[in-house]
Amino acid sequence: MSTWTTSLIDGLAQLLHDAGLGVYRPTGTYAAADIAVVAGVLPPMPDRVYCLSLYGTVRPSGLADVRVSIQGRARGPAGDSRSADYVADPIRDYLDGYRAVTVGGIRISQILHASGPGVLGLDGSNRPGRTDNFAITAERPTTHYPD
């Protein structure tokens, strides 16, 4: 089953996969060398991961469009404090300014880099993390906001 939120996140993950910026396998496992693109929660492996999560929505009055906030959380391998940047920077550059695209069946007007990078420090395996936030304007019609 999919919802608007899961369709958006899965669609963004597939967009990154199709652009060659990571590997998206929603039901599969990842090779150690992959940059895994995942939804919601960072898996323990592989070391290089980009995780997408929705964390806020604003609807302009009377419109079917919404502005959602998406967090992109990157992790890189231990041993180089910049390794999360090597994962996140190409994705940030690819998404910032993206316009007029349909992902997961959802029409997106634009994607803007809103904030970041934010350094997250090291995880329990000494792998560095970073976060970037994106503002996405997308269509989300509902019963009370049909168009």
pLDDT tens digits, residue range 31-52?
999 999 999 999 999 999 999 9
pLDDT recorded at residue 66: 86
Distance from C-alpha of 75 to C-alpha of 85, rounded to nearest angstrom: 8
Neighbours of 80 (CB within 10 A): 12
Neighbours of 23 (CB within 10 A): 20
Mean pLDDT, range 2-8, rounded to an integer? 94
Reduced 3-state DSSP string for the chain: CCCHHHHHHHHHHHHHHHCCCCECCCCCCCCCCCCEEEECCCCCCCCCEEEEEEEEEECCCCCCEEEEEEEEEEECCCCCCCHHHHHHHHHHHHHCCCEEEEECCEEEEEEEEEEEEEEEEECCCCCEEEEEEEEEEEECCCCCCCC
pLDDT at 130 over 80: yes
Of the listed ranges 24-33, 74-83, 105-114, the least confidently predicted one is: 24-33
| pTM of full prediction above 0.85 | yes
In which band, very low, low, confident or very high, does the pLDDT at 61 lie, cut at 50, 70 and 90? low
Q: Any idea which architecture 4-139 has in CATH?
A: 2-Layer Sandwich (3.30)
- pLDDT above 70 covers a percentage of the chain that reads 97
Distance from C-alpha of 140 to C-alpha of 67, rounded to nearest angstrom: 9
In which band, very low, low, confident or very high, does the pLDDT at 1 lie, cut at 50, 70 and 90? confident
- Residue at token pair 């994607």: 111
